[in-house]
């Protein structure tokens, strides 16, 4: 008697059919945008990050898929930001010398702004000293300091405080830009080294 056994390919195909049918029998429980619990044959892609539960047709809980953590989302955003920055670096600069030159131009502009603000602060202080001297003269002569002089002193104090804030901002910006262009330079070296390594590997493989 001759017995016919199914081939391995046929068995694999039958197994896929069985698994697909089993998966099709599952239900999924998740929350929609309004916080309402929904049970359906599938989970819409936009609700997957919020997590869901896999149920049997009889309602038995089979598996819990937890929500995606904020850390994962943050990591993805960091990766995308890194890609954008890498693209900017490669498109904007053709060499380390170009990066240094661009950085120097930016820092020179900020340096001139800082010097201008410092000069304005010095002028304000000189003017205040003159007004304070006027006020002292009135007091020495036994007279009251005129309101006009007081108003000028108040305005000069306000001007200096405002200028100091601007000066602090420009100094922070200077330090930030200095660090940024050093970062560009370091990253450019890494990217060009990676490109060189990839090109060399392709040549050796061809």
Any domain includes 83: no
Q: What is the mean pLDDT of residues 53-65?
A: 88
Any domain includes 68: no
Q: Is residue 71 very low, low, confident or very high in pLDDT (cuts 50, 70, 90)?
A: low
Any domain includes 82: no
Q: What is the mean pLDDT of residues 142-170?
A: 96
pLDDT above 50 (res 20): no
Any domain includes 145: yes
Any domain includes 38: no
Any domain includes 135: yes
Q: What pLDDT is recorded for position 202?
A: 63
Q: What is the mean pLDDT of residues 138-166?
A: 96
Q: What is the mean pLDDT of residues 59-65?
A: 88
Any domain includes 175: yes
Q: What pLDDT is recorded for position 57?
A: 82
Tokens 């002028």 locate to 123
Structural domains in the chain (count): 1
What is the domain range of residue 162? 94-205
What are the DSSP calls for 35-94, one per residue?
S-EEEESS--GGGGGG-EEEE-TTS-EEEEEPPPPHHHHHHHHHHHHHHHHHHHHHHH-S
Q: Is residue 58 very low, low, confident or very high in pLDDT (cuts 50, 70, 90)?
A: confident
**pTM to 2 decimals?**
0.57
Any domain includes 30: no
Q: Is residue 22 very low, low, confident or very high in pLDDT (cuts 50, 70, 90)?
A: very low
Q: What pLDDT is recorded for position 165?
A: 97
- The tally of CA atoms less than 13 A away on the side-chain side of residue 200 is 6
The per-residue pLDDT of the chain, averaged, comes to 85
Q: What pLDDT is recorded for position 131?
A: 96
Cβ atoms < 10 Å from Cβ of 124: 20
pLDDT above 50 (res 19): no
Please give the Cα distance from 188 to 19 (Å, whole number).
Answer: 50
Q: What pLDDT is recorded for position 76?
A: 79
For residue 55, report the phi and psi dihedrals to the nearest 5 degrees. -120, 155
Q: What pLDDT is recorded for position 33?
A: 85
Q: What pLDDT is recorded for position 85?
A: 94
- Are 55 and 29 in contact by the 8 Å Cβ rule? The answer is yes
Q: What pLDDT is recorded for position 25?
A: 73
List, in order, residues 6 or more apart from 123 with CB less than 8 Å away.
Answer: none
Dihedral sign for Cα 24, 26, 30, 36, please: positive
Please give the Cα distance from 15 to 4 (Å, whole number).
Answer: 18
Model confidence over 129-148: pLDDT tens digits?
A: 999 999 999 999 999 999 99
Model confidence over 78-119: pLDDT tens digits?
A: 888 999 999 999 999 999 999 999 999 999 999 999 999 999
């Amino acid at each position: 008697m001759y017995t016919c056994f199914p081939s391995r390919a046929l068995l694999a195909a039958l197994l896929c059919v069985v698994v697909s049918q089993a998966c099709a029998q599952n239900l999924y429980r998740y929350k929609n945008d309004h916080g309402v619990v929904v049970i359906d044959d599938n989970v819409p892609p936009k609700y997957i990050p919020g997590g869901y539960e896999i149920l049997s047709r009889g309602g038995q809980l089979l598996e819990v898929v937890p929500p995606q953590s904020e850390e994962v989302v943050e990591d993805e955003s960091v990766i995308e930001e890194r890609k954008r920055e890498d693209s900017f670096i490669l498109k904007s600069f053709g060499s380390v010398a170009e990066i240094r030159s661009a950085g120097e131009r930016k820092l020179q502009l900020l340096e001139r702004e800082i010097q201008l603000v410092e000069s304005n602060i010095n002028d304000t202080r000189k003017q205040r000293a003159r007004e304070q001297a006027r006020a002292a003269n009135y007091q020495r002569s036994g007279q009251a300091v005129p309101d006009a002089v007081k108003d000028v002193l108040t305005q000069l104090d306000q001007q200096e405080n405002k200028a100091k804030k601007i000066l602090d901002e420009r100094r922070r910006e200077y330090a930030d830009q200095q660090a940024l262009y050093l970062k560009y330079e370091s990253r450019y070296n890494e990217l060009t080294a990676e490109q060189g390594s990839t090109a060399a590997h392709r040549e050796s493989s061809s």
